[in-house]
């Protein structure tokens, strides 16, 4: 079932293409929904969306991590049959049982107390098992290195979701409930398609059910499931604490608009890289050892460092202009939120890739402790900074805790697996980015108005200057670019 012959570059191109289609859909939807929904409704949508992600992280029981770690790459049919039964279907069944128990508990709580949950809340509850199933199948596609299927399915899901959400908001009402109804409808359609696909490729057999294998997967995955819950809390707790300390959904909306756009950047700068890297790294570590993983990191870190520094420079200088251009001057307050959060999303993957390796050992409990440490920093800083800085308080807290987490991975990973960007690359990228910031500050971009003028002329000018300087100074970057230009025509037929 695996197509492991494809390399990281091929997978990356496919994941990048799929994620670019997702980002494009988000860039289309972002200005539409920030205009159709006011800050309060947008804040409600983002707030309840946070609880979906939290519920999914708990309900998966860490099964996706066990799938990535224990998938039988040798292609043995018997082992694959046992794997699908014990590490896909069995955890999925346990997840549904857990979800059913929670639903019964909520219904009993309502009956006893007389409380009535909102319709948006129940949409969140219904969507949770759907998203769990979709996530599990997506993990199967990734570990079998079916990057082309991932590319198509993600793009179709996101664009279908956009169409249904827009239709619901325009036809029914401009509320978070209508928007989430469209989102739920798209998840149902994709789940039906994935259901047909998984039945053809993964089979369940009671005879193959092995409790020891199920326990092994759960014992490996549960610390990582808890780690994922804490990671979600690290990302989402800011909105919950901002609402709790300010009591203002509008403030949550301002924060959510900026963070939502930055999240799209994270999909490309972070998720795309690791989706391509992790399956190949797992295979190389199993077959060739730690040195092969370090060599893979070394090849990836050169272009990543230049891309991350360039993206961070552009976001720092023009993040607010992008918000104004996309959503209008009424949403300008979200600009600084997007700019700083985007810089974090651009730079953090460098350290996370450098320090990747704890899960290869496997040392999942160390990953959990690192995440707990970052969450504790985030909570403490939010308590101190939200009253002092308002909406920007959680932004500062997220920046500090995110880099603390990444540095922790680098400090704790076994030395044979640690591979940092080389000093020469860091100096060139840092100096070029700093020089661009100084040029913009000194020139003031000759009085260009905020929004589209600064974004189009200033942003494109800085991007061109940055790229030309890097290519002129570093011959390795020129060689890499020439290699890509040569390889693209040769591999065009293999991308499809």
Do residues 32 and 166 make contact, with C-beta atoms less than 8 angstroms apart?
Answer: yes
| Between 365 and 338, residue with greater pLDDT | 338
Q: What is the mean pLDDT of residues 411-435?
A: 95
Above 80 in pLDDT, residue 7? no
pLDDT over 90 percentage in the chain? 33
Q: Which residues contact 481 (CB under 8 A, 6 or more apart)?
A: 471
What tokens does 294 get? 């370090």
Residue closest to 338 by CA, chosen among 26, 16, 17: 26
pLDDT over 70 percentage in the chain? 93
Tell me what pLDDT residue 406 has. 94
Tell me what pLDDT residue 74 has. 67
Above 70 in pLDDT, residue 349? yes
* Euclidean distance between CA atoms 477 and 389, whole angstroms: 41
Average pLDDT score over the chain = 84
| Between 167 and 266, residue with greater pLDDT | 167
Q: What is the pLDDT of residues 80-117, one digit of tens each?
A: 878 888 888 888 888 899 889 988 998 898 888 877 77
Q: What is the pLDDT of residues 21-80, one digit of tens each?
A: 887 887 788 778 877 777 677 777 777 777 777 778 788 887 877 887 777 766 677 778
Burial profile 180-201: b = 16 or more Cβ within 10 angstroms, e = fewer = bbbbbbbbeebbeebeeebeee
Tell me what pLDDT residue 490 has. 42
Parse the chain into domains and list their residue ranges.
8-495
Do residues 54 and 127 make contact, with C-beta atoms less than 8 angstroms apart?
Answer: no
Instruction: Find the distance separating the first CA and the last CA of the chain, reported in whole Å.
Output: 18
Scan for tokens 């079932």, then name that residue: 1
Do residues 233 and 242 make contact, with C-beta atoms less than 8 angstroms apart?
Answer: no
Dump the DSSP string for 260-326: HHHHHHHIIIIIHHHHHHHHHHHHHHHHH-HHHHHHHHHHHHHHHHHHHHHHHHHHHHHHHHHHHHH
* Euclidean distance between CA atoms 452 and 321, whole angstroms: 7
Give the confidence band of 496 by pLDDT, cuts at 50, 70, 90.
very low
Q: What is the pLDDT of residues 279-321, one digit of tens each?
A: 788 888 888 899 999 999 999 999 999 999 999 999 999 999 9
* Euclidean distance between CA atoms 182 and 168, whole angstroms: 6
Dump the DSSP string for 417-440: G--PPPHHHHHHHHHHHHHHHHHH
Q: What is the pLDDT of residues 452-470, one digit of tens each?
A: 899 899 999 999 999 999 9
| Between 217 and 101, residue with greater pLDDT | 101
Residue 397 CB neighbours (<10 A): 25
Give the confidence band of 207 by pLDDT, cuts at 50, 70, 90.
confident
Q: Which residues contact 290 (CB under 8 A, 6 or more apart)?
A: 357, 360, 414, 416, 417
Tell me what pLDDT residue 2 has. 46
Phi, psi of 247 (to 5 degrees): 65, 20
Tell me what pLDDT residue 485 has. 65
Scan for tokens 């959904």, then name that residue: 249
Give the confidence band of 3 by pLDDT, cuts at 50, 70, 90.
very low
Burial profile 235-255: b = 16 or more Cβ within 10 angstroms, e = fewer = bbbbbbbbbebbebbbbbbbb
Q: What is the pLDDT of residues 110-140, one digit of tens each?
A: 888 877 777 888 888 888 889 889 988 888 8
Tell me what pLDDT residue 380 has. 95
């Amino acid at each position: 079932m695996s197509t492991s012959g494809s390399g990281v570059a091929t997978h990356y191109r496919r994941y990048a293409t799929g994620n670019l289609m997702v980002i494009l859909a988000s860039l289309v939807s972002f200005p539409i929904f920030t205009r159709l929904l006011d800050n309060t409704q947008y804040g409600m949508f983002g707030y309840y969306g946070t609880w979906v992600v939290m519920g999914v992280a708990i309900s998966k029981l860490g099964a996706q991590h066990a799938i990535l770690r224990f998938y039988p790459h040798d292609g043995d049919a018997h082992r694959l049959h046992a794997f699908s039964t014990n590490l896909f279907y069995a955890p999925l069944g346990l997840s549904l049982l857990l979800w059913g128990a929670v639903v019964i508990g909520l219904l009993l709580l309502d009956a006893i107390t007389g409380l009535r949950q909102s319709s948006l809340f129940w949409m969140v509850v219904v969507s949770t098992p759907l998203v769990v199933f979709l996530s599990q199948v997506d993990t199967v596609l990734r570990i079998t290195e079916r990057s082309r299927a991932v590319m198509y399915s993600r793009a179709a899901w996101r664009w279908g979701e956009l169409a249904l959400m827009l239709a619901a908001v325009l036809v029914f009402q401009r509320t978070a409930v209508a928007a989430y109804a469209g989102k739920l409808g798209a998840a149902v359609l994709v789940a039906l398609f994935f259901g047909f696909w998984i039945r053809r490729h993964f089979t369940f057999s009671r005879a193959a059910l092995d409790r020891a294998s199920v326990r092994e997967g759960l014992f490996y995955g549960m610390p990582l499931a808890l780690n994922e819950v804490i990671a979600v809390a690290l990302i989402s707790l800011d909105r919950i604490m901002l609402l709790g300390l300010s009591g203002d959904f509008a403030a949550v909306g301002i924060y959510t608009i900026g963070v939502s756009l930055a999240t799209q950047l994270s999909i490309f700068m972070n998720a795309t890289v690791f989706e391509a890297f992790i399956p190949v790294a797992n295979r190389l570590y199993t077959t060739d050892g730690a040195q092969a993983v370090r060599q893979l990191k070394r090849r990836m870190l050169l272009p990543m460092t230049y891309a991350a520094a360039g993206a961070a420079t552009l976001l720092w200088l023009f993040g607010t202009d992008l918000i104004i251009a996309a959503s209008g001057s009424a949403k300008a307050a979200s600009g600084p939120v997007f700019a700083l959060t985007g810089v974090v999303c651009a730079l953090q993957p460098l350290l996370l890739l450098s320090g990747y390796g704890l899960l290869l050992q496997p040392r999942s409990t160390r990953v959990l402790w690192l995440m707990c440490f970052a969450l504790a920093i985030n909570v403490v800083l939010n308590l101190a900074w939200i009253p002092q800085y308002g909406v920007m308080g959680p932004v500062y807290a997220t920046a500090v805790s995110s880099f603390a987490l990444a540095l922790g991975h680098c400090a704790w990973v076994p030395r044979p697996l640690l591979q940092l960007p080389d000093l020469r690359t860091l100096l060139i990228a840092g100096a070029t980015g700093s020089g661009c910031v100084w040029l913009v500050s000194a020139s003031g971009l000759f009085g260009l108005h905020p929004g589209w003028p600064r974004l189009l002329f200033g942003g494109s000018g800085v991007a061109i200057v940055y790229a030309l300087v890097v290519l002129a100074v570093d011959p390795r970057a020129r060689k890499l670019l020439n290699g890509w230009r040569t390889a693209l025509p040769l591999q065009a037929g293999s991308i499809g």
